[in-house]
Each structure stands twice: as C-alpha cells, then as structure tokens.
Structure 1
C-alpha cells in the first residue's frame, strides 16, 4: 500500500503536470475547457445583465411605443409621448407604466446574452475567414462588423421570438381584451393550444429582416465610432490609458441606436401588427357608413405593409417613433456600456473591440 507521502508526492506531480499543460495551451492560444466554459458563462451573464438593466430603465416608453403601434386609428387614446404616459398613469397607475416588463426582461435577458456572445463569436469567425481570403492581418472593418451584428441579431431573435410574441400581447392586454393571460407561461400555452405552434412565430420574417440592419448597424456604428475616436484621438476624448470615458461610450451607443432604429422601425411596426392581428384594440379599418369594421387580418408581411399604407397612409409605418427614439437613445447606450462594465468586473479578458 502506498504511503501518505507517496500519495502527496503523486498528487503534487499531477497538479504540476496539469498546470504545465494549461500554460502550454495558453501559450498556443487555446483555453483549457474549464477556463473556456467560465469565460463563455461570464460573457453570457454580462450580456444578460446589460439587457435587463437597459430595458427596465426605459420600460414605460417601451409599453407606450407598442400601444401607439397597434392602437385603433378610429379610437385614439394616445396622442403622443407625454400625453400617452400621463394617460397610462391616470388609468392604470404606476404599475401600468411597467406592465409587461417582467415578460420583457424574461425575453430580453437571454436575447441580450445570446446577442452579445453571438456577436463576439461571429466577429472572430468572420475576421478569420477574411484574413484567409486576403492573406494579411486585417482588422475588423465597419462592413465586417455589420455582418457580425446581423448574424448575432438573427440568432438572438430566432431563439427568443415566442417570448417577444407573448410579451406584446401581455403589454397590450386590458380588461376588455378578447383573451386574458395570467402570465408568461399561461400565455405561451394558451397561444400554442388555441392558435397552433406557427402562431408563436407570427411576424418572424419582418423581425428577422428588420434585425439585420438594426442590430447590425448598432454594433457597426458603436464599435467603429469608438475605434475611430481612440485611433484619431479626436476631440481629446481618450484618457491616459487609451480608453474612452463612460459619457463618451454612452454617446456612441446613443448614435448607434438612433441610426439602427430609424432604418428598421417600419418592420418593427409590421411585426407588432401581425402579432396583434385579431385583437379588439388593434388597428382596424372603417366602412363607408363610418362604423368600425372587423380588425384587419394579414396574409403575410407584404400584405401587412400594403394594408397598413392603404388604410392609414405611409406615416402609419412610423407610429410610435418618437417615444421609441427617446427610448432607444438611453437603452442601447446603457446596454453597451453596462455590458463592458460587467465584463470588466467579472474579469473577462476579451472585449467586443478585440
């Protein structure tokens, strides 16, 4: 039988060998499995926290945006940002401003986690392919960042779309709504049972098409703007550590969000209307005698665009844009900055810029 000293000696040798192997992997640019898993987990946590914090901060504006997008044009309740927020406060109280936010966070936290992580992985993959094609040590360009952001947006949107579907219905739901959902799980099971699996993905196509410019431009503008400010040292915004301050990064995020949402907003309106099709308070048309006709039904994305523009004009594609713009400026900015700060706190080595 081996002595205690022999066991300790063998354990020490094993530990040294393991450490040496991990050091070798590190020198070769390969992470040990446990270290790689920890890094991935930290990155996902950082993305999830960023999404939850940023979305909760602008929850009242998010709810008002959805209500403006789908309200009946012949029974106007919300005439603008200030009036709309006051109406919600008066009719539903403080909690009304945050109705649907729990569902929203349940969707946005995994969505944000997957989105940021997918962007990092897509960036590495696209850059690797680009370097193989050009045979030089090229850096990420705005176009490559746009492509990586588009990939990340599609993956994140597809993974969490059913949650977005029921979140929209819970947000719009009132006492007079045709269906009453008690929560996320009840809404998911009810829609699945009464309307079928395909209903959970109503509006998915315009969502995916819209996410390409929206998320793609968010990442491309934010990262490229930061990169330009750091390399050019424009306006003296770079500190002694060659880093940008929080206020500057917030401004970069605000610019990115504004560009992205302006381009993609009409697709967001169409997506929401397709999700809400058949609801009493959703957009409808008027017959010749002035009475409200049955709520519109859409036979697809193109049909939804056509009917919306025909019955309500081109401006209907930008309903809710003002509160959405006010929401996007802090939301995207907070998300990017929170993500980077949480990654710093957790000690994740890689940043999206790298």
Structure 2
C-alpha cells in the first residue's frame, strides 16, 4: 500500500530538509550523515535509554539511493514518505537488505547484511539452518531463489524466534536441555534488549530464582519469548481484568480466567504467566517456577514491562508553575458556585415533598392535640387548599441561601478524603475509608445545615398556625433574631446523628452502584445521564429511611412546641419522650416522604454537580493530567522522528 504525498506535507518535509542541510555542491543542498541523523533521530532525553541516537544511522543507507554519501531533498522527501506508509517498518527493512536495488532479497543479501551488523562478539547465527532453507531453498551463491517483499516480511517475523532457538543451542554445550541463567540473560540482552524497559533488564539476573534448581530450560526461553511477542494481548487482558477487580489488582488465576473469556483463539500457559508476574513484580514467582497464588498485581505493576520508552506520566508531564493564591481562590469560587447551583437545583425540585415531610414529623399524637393530617396525601391536599401552590415553597429562600456552602463543603470534603485514602498504584479506595470519607462529609456540613434547617422548619410549620389564627406570619429574619446565634444551633447533635450516617451510607452506595452495578470504567465505559441519576437516587433510599429517627428528633427539637405539647430539652429527652408518648413508629414518621424527598434531591444534586463540571469547565486552567497530544511531539520533524523510531524496531531485531 502506498499513501500519496500531498502538497502541504511535501512542503513541510522540504522545509525540514532546508533547516538541517549542511552541504552545498554546485548550488544544490544536501545532508551528510550527521545532519541526516539530526533530521530523523530524536534528541537525547528521557525514554530513549535502550535505543541510542546513533542507531538511527542505519536509515542513511536506506535514504541514500544514489550511494554518494549525501542525501538530496528528493531523497529526503522519498524517505519521509516511506515512513508514512502503514507497513513502514517492513518497507524500511526490505530496502535496507536490498542493497542491489533489485526489488528482492537473496540469500547472499541476507547473509552479508545480517553478518555485517551482528558483530564479531555476537552469538553466532547458523546460515545453513533448516529454518532459512525453508524460505530460500538451497543455500548457495548461485541459488536464484530470492524473496520478494511479501515473502521477506514473513521471514522477518520469524527471525527472532530462530535466533533465540539457535542461541539456546549454542549455550547448551552438553545438549542436556539446560542453560545457566547468565546465558539466558545474554540471549535476552542481544536479541531483545531494545524492546525491554530498564526496570525489566535490571530484573533479568533474578531469573535464576524462577526455577527450583536455578537452571533455564528451552521451555523457559520460549515462554519468555512468547510473553515478549504477545505483550499487546497481555496488556489487553490486564486492562480488562484490573478494571473488573474491586481493588484494581489481579492474581495469576484472575489473569488466566479473563484471558479465556476475552480472547478468541489465544491462550497463555502457566509458565508464560509466571514470567509475566516475575518481571512485573520481583518475588511474585515461587521456587517451582509458578506464580505465587496470593500475589496480586495492579495495572501500574505491568506498565513498564516491555516498553523501553515507558516513563511515569508524572515524569513526562511538563513541570507546572506553582499555583498562585489568586488561582486557588478562583478554583474555590468555581467549585462553590457549581456546588451551589447543583444544590439549589436539587432542593427546589423536591422542596414540596420536604415541606410535607416536616409537617408530618412535627405532628403529635391525638392525645396532645387534634391530628391535622391523616397521612402525607391528606397533607398535600390541605396545604394546596388552605395555602395555595406557593404554600409548598414556604421557607425555600433560607434553604437556597444555605444550600450552596452546605453542598460545596459536603462534596469537597468527600472528594478530598477519598483522594487522600486512594491507593497510589491504581486509584482504588478501601470500603472503610469510603465510609470515613462519607462520614466526614456529613459532619462538615452541619455548621451550615443546622441554622438553615431550623429557620426552614419554623417557616414550614408557620403556615399551619397562621391558617388557624394562632400566630402572625413572620419572615426568616424575625426567626433569626428571635433564636439568636446559639438558638440557630439548637438540635445540632441530632443533625449530626442524621447527616453523618446518611453520608456514610449515601456516598459509599453511590460509588459502588456506579462501579459494580453500572460498570463505570469497565472497557472505558462512561455512565450516561440516566445511569448516573439512577445510581444517585437509589443510593439515597436506604440512607434516607434509616436515618429518619434522627431527623424526627431534630425536627421536634427545632420546631416550637405548641401549648400542651412536651418541650424537649435534648436528644435523649426527645427520644425517650417520643417512645413513651407515641411509640416506636413515631420515630419513622415521614420516612416514606423523606425517601421521596432525599433520594431524588441528592440524585439531582450529584448529577447536576458532575454534569455542570462537564458543561462549564473551569476556564482558567488546563487539565491536571496532560493530554496525549501534550505528551507527543508537536513539530512535524519531531513526529517524523517518532515514525522513524517505530521503523527502527524491526531493524534492531537483526543487530546486536
């Protein structure tokens, strides 16, 4: 397949050539070998330790079609276009071996080029082997059997396997089927060092511990080679398995089970898994050469296995200047505003239900007064009949005023504690810490919650007294002046007893519903609006109902007692009085209404908070995590270097 060159690309390549051309003959510019290296090779830096810059010199012979030792602009553009092809590694390798420009590779071509770059100290390669004879027939100078491009590419795919087989036979002097670990290390360093990361190469000497008698068999060598050859498939299985694991870690049996479910034809032997575990985590393999069953590894443990360019994302990310106080203040205002908008949205949607819930909870038994409402439905009917539609929103203003700091603090504290408790390897968090984070969030909000709750409750109940002529309508400011600063925190203990358990249950349930039930993050899945809303709403149901007793006590403490009703002194007194006068069922008054209110309210609030962040991202800051494009070279000549490096990988399979 050939991809055509468009004019814009050609101009960019020509401009790149001009910027590096350092030789001029008869008015024509050229690149010598050093300048060509500058034009196509990456500059020294992180991520290139296993492939030296000088190794890119092998491309010079491919680009120098005229064999004059200089690269013209046309030669350079042709080479750049070659790198653009989807099969560029094989195209470059073919032209590298086709020194006679015949459009084919003969036995002598292959032997001469391969021998030249193996070097004198390399492990010998037997050119009379049966493997090479299968591709080229009778191996002689007069043999006319040559390999066209497609046959050559297939031979190159099998070259590494044959080199490893011959290398094992070379070190197995006694023909007993064993070699020493240090010999195996030599094989790997010569054949595959350019494909391995520094961390893996550092672990090669420990391979003597992978077998009980500290010897390496050919099965070990092939298992290692298969792991290297199938690393893309291993990475695919690891991605799936770790994303499905509750703690982000997997055992060897987890890996094998996932591989069976998610690969059509491929399979991994226990020995191959043993090598993968050993290289990902030293000590993960027992003396018998099998993975320890209790060793669980994370995705991060595997990341550096076979990519010589692998560098932790933090190391690749450009250093960020310290954030200024103004920057931090603006972020705080941004989060506060979104939390306020989300909270106000949720509160407004369910406020009529909240009013009904409050009036039902404050209604005492018939022995201390007439029962005004038979049930929640009767309450709705009477509020609408006696106070009109606006009666359902009595006390909404203080709720909206206080909901912004309340929700902002609650959401921020939960996120902050979860972040501090996260496993640094995989971002997971244990269940106890999830509960602690939720509890901390619930406790932190009471400072803002209690004052607005007591004002809201008195305004909500006021409508009853006004209707029957027991009181004059009073506004929120009158109630605040009447209560005073300390009075605004009446019932704070009950508020804590309600909000801390509520948030413990709610935030933990919400996180696990998204992850475990709706499979957020599995295969990169992102939840839609409906799934997110459903997760948030379902999480609120048990949290709301089981904390109803604390909410009933809080409501009774904060509401003004009518004539003839018990005036509660504290949480304990309210609890015992309610049990004595009204029975245990009274502690769950308004429970269904609380579920109907809290579940959708927190559902709408959390979904609104998450979606507001997506719809209105912070305008003065780039993402904390650098994007893929930010980590890739941006200039055309740098992108060319990336393509050149990919093509170099195949050629390095033939060199020491």
TM superposition score normalised by structure 1: 0.77
The partner residue of 2:400 within 102, 105, 127 is 105
Deviation at 1:180, TM superposition (A): 4.6
2:512 is matched with: 224
The partner residue of 1:324 within 594, 604, 610 is 594
Any idea what the Cα deviations from partners look like across 1:246-292, whole Å, max 9, x if unmatched? 11111111111112112211001001101114335xxxxxxxxxxxx
SS of the residue aligned with 2:488? helix
Q: 1:137 to 1:232 in 2, by over 3 A?
A: closer
2:528 paired with 1:245: yes
Distance across 2 between alignment mates of 1:26 and 1:80: 63
2:372 is matched with: 77
2:327 paired with 1:38: no
Any idea what the Cα deviations from partners look like across 1:82-124, whole Å, max 9, x if unmatched? 2211110001111111111122222222211221122222323
Distance across 1 between alignment mates of 2:321 and 2:510: 28
Any idea what the Cα deviations from partners look like across 1:216-268, whole Å, max 9, x if unmatched? 211111122212246577xxxx7x86210111111111111112112211001
SS of the residue aligned with 1:279? coil
1:291 is matched with: none
The partner residue of 2:546 within 246, 251, 263 is 263
2:485 paired with 1:190: no
Conserved 8 A contact 2:340-2:405: yes
1:344 is matched with: 614
1:19 is matched with: none
Aligned residue pairs total 299
Distance across 2 between alignment mates of 1:122 and 1:220: 13
2:176 is matched with: none
Conserved 8 A contact 2:544-2:599: no
Distance across 1 between alignment mates of 2:383 and 2:535: 32
2:435 paired with 1:146: yes
SS of the residue aligned with 1:182? coil
Q: 1:140 to 1:93 in 2, by over 3 A?
A: same
1:172 is matched with: 461
Q: 1:25 to 1:170 in 2, by over 3 A?
A: farther
Q: 1:29 to 1:67 in 2, by over 3 A?
A: farther
Conserved 8 A contact 1:230-1:243: no
Conserved 8 A contact 1:44-1:116: no
Q: 1:146 to 1:178 in 2, by over 3 A?
A: farther
Deviation at 1:32, TM superposition (A): 4.0
The partner residue of 1:315 within 568, 576, 585 is 585
Which has the larger share of helix?
1
Deviates more, 1:86-95 or 1:321-330: 321-330
Any idea what the Cα deviations from partners look like across 1:8-51, whole Å, max 9, x if unmatched? xxxxxxxxxxxxxxxx9973695443333222222111111111
1:272 is matched with: 555
Any idea what the Cα deviations from partners look like across 1:164-193, whole Å, max 9, x if unmatched? 11111111113158665632222111211x
Greater RCO structure (CA 8 Å; 6+ sep): 1
SS of the residue aligned with 2:547? helix
1:27 is matched with: 319
Distance across 1 between alignment mates of 2:493 and 2:435: 19
Distance across 2 between alignment mates of 1:140 and 1:241: 19
Distance across 2 between alignment mates of 1:177 and 1:163: 26
In structure 2, the gaps of 5 or more residues are 1-315, 625-656
Conserved 8 A contact 1:42-1:346: no
Conserved 8 A contact 1:277-1:295: no
Deviation at 1:138, TM superposition (A): 5.6
2:540 paired with 1:254: no
1:4 is matched with: none
The partner residue of 1:120 within 409, 412, 415 is 415
Map 1:263-302; keep pairs closer than 5 Å: 263-280=546-563, 294-302=564-572
Any idea what the Cα deviations from partners look like across 1:103-157, whole Å, max 9, x if unmatched? 2222222211221122222323344xxx5xxx86662233212211211111111
Conserved 8 A contact 2:443-2:496: yes
RMSD in angstroms over aligned alpha carbons? 2.6
Conserved 8 A contact 2:360-2:376: no
2:360 is matched with: 68
SS of the residue aligned with 2:373? coil
Deviation at 1:328, TM superposition (A): 2.2
1:13 is matched with: none
2:495 paired with 1:207: yes
1:17 is matched with: none
SS of the residue aligned with 2:558? helix
